[in-house]
Amino acid sequence: MASRSARSRPKVIVTRRLPQAVEARMAELFDVELNLSDTPMSEAALADAASRCDVLVPTVTDRIDAAVFAGAGGRLKLCANFGVGVDHIDLAAARAAEVMVTNTPGVLTDDTADMVMALILSVPRRLAEGEKLVRAGEWQGWSPTGMLGHRITGKRLGIVGMGRIGRAVATRARAFGLTIHYHNRHRLPDALEQDIEATWWDNLDAMLARVDIITLNCPHTPETHHLIGASQFAIMQRHAYIINAARGEIVETNALCEALAAGRIAGAGLDVFEQEPAVDPRLLAAPGVVLLPHMGSATFEGRQAMGEKVIANIRVWHDGHRPPDQVLEGWA
C-alpha cells in the first residue's frame, strides 16, 4: 500500500475540544485545526471543514450527512470519529464519497458498563429521590417504611445487544445477583454463555415480557431505530424498569412517556435522549426516572484513550495501512 507519509502532514480538523494531552499530541503530529471554543459546529461549518481537510474528527454532536460528504470535494479521505457509535455519520454516503470511517471501540466499554450498572442500582433503589430529599432539607429521619425501593438481587436482567458493553454489563450484573437474559442477533459462543449463565432469547418481545430490568446496549442502526415502542412497553411487566445508556433513538420517546405516565412500567434510567440535549418535559416530571447527561463514557481515562485511538487510526491510515478501527457499513 502506498504510504501517504511522504506527503506533508495531514490536515486534521477536530470539531470539539478533546483532552488537552490529545490536542497537544495532535498538534505535534498533524497540521491540526482545533475548535478552541468547543461550540458544536453548524451544518455549514461542518461542510466547510470537510472541504478543507484530509481528516475530520467529529463527535456524536456532529451530523455528518450526505451533504457534508458530497460537499467535501474529494479532499476529505478519513472521518476518524471520537466515539464508538457512528449513527451520526451517513456510512453509505461516506462510502460513496470514498471516505474511510473509523471509531474508538473497546476503550469505553468498562466506563459505560459501570454507568449502566449505576442506573440499574439507582432506579429501583430510588437514589436520586433520596439525594434530593436530603439536599432539600426535607428528610424527617429514618422510618421503617421510608424510601422503600426494590431489591436488585434475584431479579432478571434483559440485555438488548450483547456486544462488548452488553457483556461487560452482564459480568457486573452477575456479581449483584441478577440473572442474565439477552437478545442479540447472534447467540454467544457456548463457553461465554455458560460463564455468565446467560439465557439467549431469539425473540425480543418474549424476553421483554419475562424480565424485571431491561438494559439497551445495542448500537443505533436503521434496524434498532425505535426498537422499543408502544407495543414493547405493553408487554413489559408493570414492575419493570428500562435503562438506556446506548442511544435515545432506540426508544420511542413518546411511547416511553406514555408508558411511565400510565404506570405501564415502574421507571427508567436514561443517559441518552432522542433530541439531545433536549429532554422531553414529561420525562423531567415523571416519578421513578433517573436522567443523566450522556456521561456513560465520561472518565478522564476513557476520553484520553479515545483520543489515543483517534490518533492511532489517523497515523496508521496516513502510513498507508488499514486503520485498526475501520467501521464497515452496517456495523458500529
Member of 60, 107, 265, 270 binding ligand 8YV (CB under 6 A): 60
Q: Is 57 an interacting residue with respect to ligand 8YV (CB under 6 A)?
A: no
Q: Is 288 an interacting residue with respect to ligand 8YV (CB under 6 A)?
A: no
Member of 108, 157, 211, 242 binding ligand 8YV (CB under 6 A): 108
Q: Report the distance separating Cα 47 and Cα 275, nearest Å.
A: 21
What is the Cα 290 distance to its own chain's centre? 17
Q: How far is the CB of 150 from ligand 8YV (least distance, A)?
A: 28
Residue nearest to ligand 8YV (CB): 83
In angstroms, the first-to-last Cα distance of the chain is 26
Clarify whether 181 is annotated catalytic. no
Q: Report the distance separating Cα 2 and Cα 319, nearest Å.
A: 8
Using DSSP's 3-state secondary structure scheme, residue 269 falls into strand
Q: How far is the CB of 311 from ligand 8YV (least distance, A)?
A: 15
Question: Which H/E stretch holds residue 24?
Answer: helix 20-29
Clarify whether 294 is annotated catalytic. yes
Nearest to 123 by CA among 147, 143, 142, 149: 149
Member of 68, 76, 84, 117 binding ligand 8YV (CB under 6 A): 84
Clarify whether 220 is annotated catalytic. no
Q: Report the distance separating Cα 79 and Cα 65, nearest Å.
A: 12
Nearest to 10 by CA among 46, 75, 55: 55
Q: Is 273 an interacting residue with respect to ligand 8YV (CB under 6 A)?
A: no
Member of 297, 305, 313, 323 binding ligand 8YV (CB under 6 A): 297
Contact positions vs ligand 8YV (CB under 6 A)? 59-60, 82-85, 108, 296-297
